[in-house]
Structure 1
Amino acid sequence: MELVRPHHRALFGQLVRYALTGGLASIVNIAVYWIGRDRLHIDANLAWTAGFLGAVTVGYIVHSRWSFRGHGRRDNLARTGGRFMVVSLISFALNSLWVWLFVQHFGLPTWAPIPLVLGVTPLAVFALNRHWVFA
């Protein structure tokens, strides 16, 4: 009798690869932001947006080739790329909501939205990527 079904093992592998890729995308986002702001002295919001776009690009390439390998099809770049961008914007908006709700609306400390940013948003985005973008 098998303790872990192959489907669950594949799902767990996707989740681990997704988390590692998300970490890489976050490093890209922060690095581009930091260099833009600190070294190039550009507006903070512009630097953050550039970092976000860099992270989305890296995220799409690595997620489509590694995180979700063997899952779904990749025959239409416009379809998957467009859907990935929509999901990325949902992620951006959801994280912005957590920050606004906890910090600006409720007046909680700066760190208050971080558990949701690191926990809820990535799981929601993983589900959207798995079932809609890379299905």
Structure 2
Amino acid sequence: MRTLWHGLAPERRALAAQIARYGVVGLGVTLAQAAVYWLLAARAGVHSQIANLAGYGVAALLGYGLHGRFTFVDTGGTRDTGAKAHAVRGARFVAVSLISLALNALWVWLCVSWMRWPEWTPIPAMIFVTPGVVFLLNRAWVFR
């Protein structure tokens, strides 16, 4: 009996595999970001936006290396290893990661500052919303 996987066109299988790799890597990167944020904001008493910035820094460093080497390894953009291509890809990654930072800062502001909810409340949006947006941008623009 044929599985659903085998019934997919090759380009759809490649996309599904990429999404799965993004999920694994992204979950780890996002959990690292959320853990740094929560430990600093809730446990160490650091201002929530400063904690978010620290978490972003950890996630950006992990994300560039892991997504470039694992998630988007089968895209044309990651095959070009020249210095110029690497610099362009790096600059695009920084731009996308700044969008990620802005989104997470928005969730922190909405939940913690505006709604006065506990420090953990932005974490679901950090885990589920921001990564989806970042995947689309990385796939379409950074690691194409």
TM range, smaller chain: 0.7 to 0.9
Q: TM-score when scaled to structure 1?
A: 0.75
Provide structure 1 residue ranges, at least 5 long, that are not aligned to the other structure. Answer: none
In structure 2, do the counterparts of structure 1 residues 113 and 26 end up closer, same or farther at CA, with 3 Å as the change threshold? Answer: closer
For 1:58 and 1:72, locate their aligned partners in 2 and report how far apart those are by CA, in whole Å. 21
Equivalent in the alignment of 1:64: 68
Structure 1 partner of 2:106: 97
Distance 1:100 1:27, change over 3 A: closer
d(CA) in 1 for partners of 2:97, 2:27: 14
Q: Comparing both chains, which one has the higher relative contact order based on Cα–Cα distances under 8 Å and sequence gaps of 6 or more?
A: 2
1:17-28 matched pairs, under 5 angstroms:
17-28=21-32
CA offsets 1:31-68 (integer angstroms, 9 cap, x no match): 77759xx9xx9x77767645532321221111111101
Q: Which runs of 5+ in 2 are unaligned?
A: none
How many residue pairs were aligned? 131
Give the aligned CA root-mean-square deviation in angstroms: 3.2
The alpha carbon displacement at 1:108 in A equals 5.9
Aligned partners of 2:128 and 2:21: how far apart in 1?
16
Alignment partner of 1:12 is 2:16 = yes
Tell me, what secondary structure is at the counterpart of 2:58? helix
Given the alignment of the two structures, is residue 109 of structure 1 paired with residue 122 of structure 2, yes or no? no
- Aligned partners of 1:11, 1:118: CA distance in 2, in Å? 21
Cα distance between partner residues in 2 of 1:102 and 1:50: 18
> CA–CA distance in 1 between the matches of 2:131 and 2:107?
13
Q: TM-score under structure 2 normalisation?
A: 0.71
Counterpart for residue 92 of structure 2: 83
Give, in angstroms, the shift of residue 21 of structure 1.
1.2
